[in-house]
Amino acid sequence: MTHKAVILGTGPAGLTAAVYLARANMEPVVIEGPEPGGQLTLTTEVENYPGFPEGIMGPQLMDDMKKQAERFGAEFKRGWVEDVDMSERPFKLKINGMDDVETDTLIISTGASAKMLGIPGEKENMGKGVSTCATCDGFFFRDKKLVVVGGGDSAMEEANFLTKFASEVQIVHRRNELRASKIMQDRAKANEKITWALNKTPVEMESDGMKISALRVKDNDSGEEEVIETDGIFVAIGHNPNTEFVKGKLDMDDKGYLLVEPGTTNTNVEGVFACGDVQDAKYRQAITAAGTGCMAAMDAERFLEGEAAIDWSHTLS
């Protein structure tokens, strides 16, 4: 059986695309990867998604979106995509734990994964004082002392943003020199709320059992460890788009983000569309991901409608 549309990924982008396609009677099949719901499942309370004046828990928002898509007929399957043959349509997907799947259109919304430090206390305290998104979680740390780990533009941007809420933001970086552009460095250094802990490597995140209480770091010269007391730790060392499985098959930038035709979700392969963080290295918000999910669904629907119209014109001639 060849499906009209297959969606890879179940974050805000993929689930929004599923809602739109299901309502258009396209019976989309959604392939859930190893982390259904995407990065929002690692977030506690979401307060910047429109329609929820009291906020909503990240996992709950994703679960509600999934139920909405299922209500209109979207089908969900769990599996890991190992390979995609885009040489001809229908596209053929090799999925671990499932039979091969064929589809006329493909929507890639596999997202991007935040790079993590991989130190003790990080994973278990995610959402309990550890975050990878200042825009998402900064509001919860009003008048608190915070730490931002990183030395690039993202870290400088996160630190500057957090000073709108926090009483102090300390930037921890493992080198003496920052990787950030000069303008971003100058902006951070001119901010009176930002302090610096350079040439220090994070080794452990400490908790009081309920939430983050400190970051333990090692001085790279002396080897001595010190404890930085903090109410929250923002890890800002970059993201990895989940595009390895289509490397060499779809156009992408030097960081691996899929390239789309401006103003659309069209990739360089007709019938393949990309939405959400997998093609967005700039905004990376739930609401922007959902918006591009809507676009991808409409692009896919119009693509198939255009083909149907062409086929019909052939029968008339």
- Domain positions in the chain: 2-114+239-316, 123-235
> Which range among 134-138, 150-154, 271-275 shows the weakest confidence by mean pLDDT?
134-138
Domain 2-114+239-316 matches domain 123-235 at the CATH topology level: yes
Residue 125 confidence (pLDDT) above 90: yes
Is the CB of residue 104 less than 8 Å from the CB of residue 90? yes
pLDDT confidence band for 33 (50 / 70 / 90):
confident
Rg for the chain, CA atoms, rounded: 22
Maximum distance among all Cα pairs of the chain, rounded to whole angstroms: 82
196 exposed, middle or buried (CB, 10 Å; 0-12, 13-18, 19+)?
middle
- Mean per-residue pLDDT of the chain: 91
pLDDT given for residue 239 in this prediction: 86
Residue 178 confidence (pLDDT) above 70: yes
- Paired tokens of 9: 């990924």
pLDDT confidence band for 309 (50 / 70 / 90):
low
* Sign, Cα dihedral of 132, 144, 124, 174: positive
Burial 241-276 (b: 16+ CB within 10 A, else e): bbbebbeebbebeeebbbebeeeebbbebebbbbbb
Residue 311 confidence (pLDDT) above 80: no
**Residue range 123-235, CATH number:** 3.50.50.60
Share of the chain above pLDDT 90, in %: 76
**Residue range 2-114+239-316, CATH number:** 3.50.50.60
Instruction: Find the mean pLDDT for residues 99-119.
Output: 93
pLDDT given for residue 222 in this prediction: 94
Residue 6 confidence (pLDDT) above 80: yes
Instruction: Find the mean pLDDT for residues 228-243.
Output: 94
- Paired tokens of 161: 């943003």
Residue 170 confidence (pLDDT) above 70: yes
Count of CA atoms in the C-beta half-sphere (13 A) of 70:
9
Which residue numbers are catalytic?
133, 136-137
Is the CB of residue 269 less than 8 Å from the CB of residue 250? yes
pLDDT given for residue 317 in this prediction: 41
